[in-house]
Amino acid sequence: MEGNDVTLVILGATGDLTRRLLMPAIYRLFVRAQWQPRHIVGYGRSEWTDERFREHLEKSLKEFAREDFERKSWKELAARLTYRPGELHAEHLQGLAELVEGPAIFYLALPPGLFGEAAEALGQAGLHREDDGWRRIVIEKPFGSDLESALALHRQIHRYWQESQVYRIDHYLGKETVQNLMVFRFANRFIEPVWNAAHVEQVQITVAETLGLEGRWRYYDQAGALRDMLQNHLMQLFTLTAMEPPAVWHPEVLRDHKVEVLRAVRPIPETAVERFAARGQYAAGTVQGQQVPGYREEPNIPRDSRTETFAAVKFFVDTWRWKGVPFYLRSGKRLRADYSEVAIGFREVPTHLFRQTPLEGLSANWLIFRLKPSECIDLYAWARAPGLQLNARHLVLSAPFRQDDEPEFSAYEQLLLDVVRGDRTHFLRHDEVEWAWRVLDPVLKAWQHGAPEPYAAGGEGPTGQHRILEPGHVWRPIG
Ligand code: BG6
């Protein structure tokens, strides 16, 4: 089977990412015989033995892959696991050389601040060399914390690794519903004629979460919603919605088209950021019936923290296709519901022939790609209202993305298999990362001053988000 001769090296093997997401994905692929790596080497600072590593993973899998866990396959997988303690220094990493034979993946399940150092140390140890099989390195967002640090990281990685060896994960690109944006757009003839400024009035991209910090205060208080969600996940939803149709299905062509969108975003004027971006920070409130503390009352968060937990921005894409259409992007924590969608709002028809009950302030026709809570495609349309009058009323044509018995594959399962196959379609190219930072740079700069507006946990976010909307537009409700 493809990829069964591959060695997977996990740097940061005792950490949270490995335990919660990576190993469960590997285990599921293993059980279904979709990928059974020759050897998995865990590497970390803790002085663990192979046995301790296996026990740790067994416990984690029982927790995070519970429904799939069974003894026999675990025993088979466990037999392929090795652990090596060490630091991120070339001398220590050299010790891995004897364990790594043939094609190999180096997965950096490390804090983002260590990516550059680790990539370089692997290179110094010669592990990037493809003498006896390909070598690939995997890192996951965030890639830097602004343009400058992203460029520095890029230089550090490329000291030894070729761009074609680097797989940058944004797990949204591994979501089936996100990939569906491309399939639905480019496999249906009826979409393209209306997918432009002549017919589309606005686009709203929302990723709302009920979750708070989940113990990630150290990272989150440095990052905030703009860096944590908007610069990457929402930017992906945005570029996939706005890009031109590629003529061929090829990773480089696809990524060229996404970069093209980012390059065409009208720069946000540094002096008018207020009109294009809004931020908020949750205060105490009730989320789905549960009383929760405000952000500043969370453990370890400074009482005067100015980190935003909600961010909204407005982009205009100055292309023939999109000139004048606002793209609104927003994401926040501790909101009313777990609710994510890409919503395309269409323009009104030129004349209203029938008595219609308007949707308050919202466009009449929406095409919605919903990721959460349910995975579906909704089309809001007018139809005749039953009764003796020829009136129109709204109906929603709704299609679930998945039938009940169709299994769901996690983003990590999708993306790991892509790394094994060498398919870089759903990974970020360095210029994509850089342009995403460039576009947001004026906002990052402006937000160094002032403070986010408080919003009650469990609500729809700060009132300031309405300020950035064009006249006549309103945000779609969350949930
Ligand atoms: C992560 C962010 O990248 O994505 C988290 O760091 C966020 O803060 C998560 O909760 C959301 O992912 P998903 O797949 O649950 O929408």
What is the structure's pLDDT at 350?
87
Helix (H) or strand (E) holding 81, with range, is: strand 81-85
Q: Is residue 456 part of a domain?
A: yes
- Which atom from ligand 1 is nearest to the alpha carbon of 170? 3
Tell me how many helices (H) and strands (E) the chain has: 14, 18
Boundaries of domain holding 88: 7-140
Please tell me whether residues 190 and 325 are part of one structural domain: yes
Inter-residue contact 368 to 380 (CB < 8 Å): yes
Please tell me whether residues 91 and 225 are part of one structural domain: no
Query: Which residues, including other chains, have CB under 8 Å from residue 335's CB and lie 6 or more apart?
Result: 208, 209, 210, 287, 310, 458, 459, 460, 461, 478
User: Among all chains, which residue has been given the structure tokens 């700060």?
Assistant: 462
Please tell me whether residues 303 and 408 are part of one structural domain: yes
Residue 309: count other Cβ atoms within 10 Å of its Cβ: 32
What is the structure's pLDDT at 74?
95
What is the structure's pLDDT at 67?
85
Query: Which residues, including other chains, have CB under 8 Å from residue 325's CB and lie 6 or more apart?
Result: 197, 200, 201, 202, 203, 316, 317
Please tell me whether residues 42 and 132 are part of one structural domain: yes
Q: What is the CATH number of the domain that holds 15?
A: 3.40.50.720
Please tell me whether residues 131 and 234 are part of one structural domain: no
Query: What's the mean pLDDT in 254-259?
Result: 98
Q: Residue 233 catalytic?
A: yes
Please tell me whether residues 89 and 181 are part of one structural domain: no
Q: What is the CATH number of the domain that holds 186?
A: 3.30.360.10
Q: What is the pLDDT of residues 318-340, one digit of tens each?
A: 999 999 999 999 999 999 999 99
Inter-residue contact 112 to 81 (CB < 8 Å): no
Beta-strand pair 355-356/391-400: parallel
Q: How far is CA 122 from the centre of its chain?
A: 26
* Ligand 1: residue whose CA is nearest its atom 6: 228
Query: What's the mean pLDDT in 268-291?
Result: 97
| 244 CA distance to ligand 1 middle (Å) | 27
Q: What radius of gyration do the chain's Cα atoms show? A: 24
Please tell me whether residues 126 and 261 are part of one structural domain: no
Pairwise CA distance, residues 381 & 383, whole Å = 7
| 48 CA distance to ligand 1 middle (Å) | 30
Query: What's the mean pLDDT in 460-477?
Result: 97
Least confident of 2-6, 69-73, 350-354, 396-400: 350-354
For the question of an ipTM over 0.95, the answer is yes
Inter-residue contact 308 to 462 (CB < 8 Å): no
Please tell me whether residues 61 and 185 are part of one structural domain: no
Q: How far is CA 22 from the centre of its chain?
A: 16
- Which atom from ligand 1 is nearest to the alpha carbon of 211? 10
**Interhelix angle 23-31/411-421, nearest 10 degrees:** 70
Confidence of residue 361 (pLDDT cuts 50, 70, 90): low
Determine if ligand 1 sits within 6 Å of the CB of residue 228: yes
Q: Is residue 476 part of a domain?
A: no
Q: Write down the catalytic residue from 154, 233, 426, 430.
A: 233
**pLDDT(363) > 70:** no
Q: Is residue 121 part of a domain?
A: yes
Least confident of 225-229, 348-352, 438-442: 348-352
User: Among all chains, which residue has been given the structure tokens 């279904």?
Assistant: 32
Please tell me whether residues 216 and 306 are part of one structural domain: yes
Confidence of residue 360 (pLDDT cuts 50, 70, 90): low
* Site to substitute for ligand 1 among 17, 139, 171, 340, most atoms within 8 A of C-beta: 171
User: Among all chains, which residue has been given the structure tokens 């997965």?
Assistant: 107
The number of domains in the chain is: 2
Determine if ligand 1 sits within 6 Å of the CB of residue 211: yes
Q: Is position 189 annotated in a ligand binding site?
A: no
Pairwise CA distance, residues 410 & 423, whole Å = 17
Please tell me whether residues 198 and 116 are part of one structural domain: no
- What are phi and psi for residue 16, nearest 5 degrees? -70, -40
464 vs 68 pLDDT, higher one = 464
Least confident of 146-155, 222-231, 405-414: 405-414
Q: Is residue 442 part of a domain?
A: yes
Residue 7: both structure tokens together? 């060695």
Beta-strand pair 166-169/135-140: parallel
Q: Is residue 154 part of a domain?
A: no
**pLDDT(109) > 90:** yes
Residue 250: count other Cβ atoms within 10 Å of its Cβ: 12
Q: Is position 87 annotated in a ligand binding site?
A: yes
Please tell me whether residues 240 and 327 are part of one structural domain: yes
Q: Is position 12 annotated in a ligand binding site?
A: yes
Confidence of residue 124 (pLDDT cuts 50, 70, 90): very high
Please tell me whether residues 131 and 182 are part of one structural domain: no
Determine if ligand 1 sits within 6 Å of the CB of residue 413: no
| 278 CA distance to ligand 1 middle (Å) | 20
- Which atom from ligand 1 is nearest to the alpha carbon of 141? 3
Percentage of the chain beyond pLDDT 70 is 99
Provide the Cα torsion 165, 145, 412, 16; round to 10°.
110
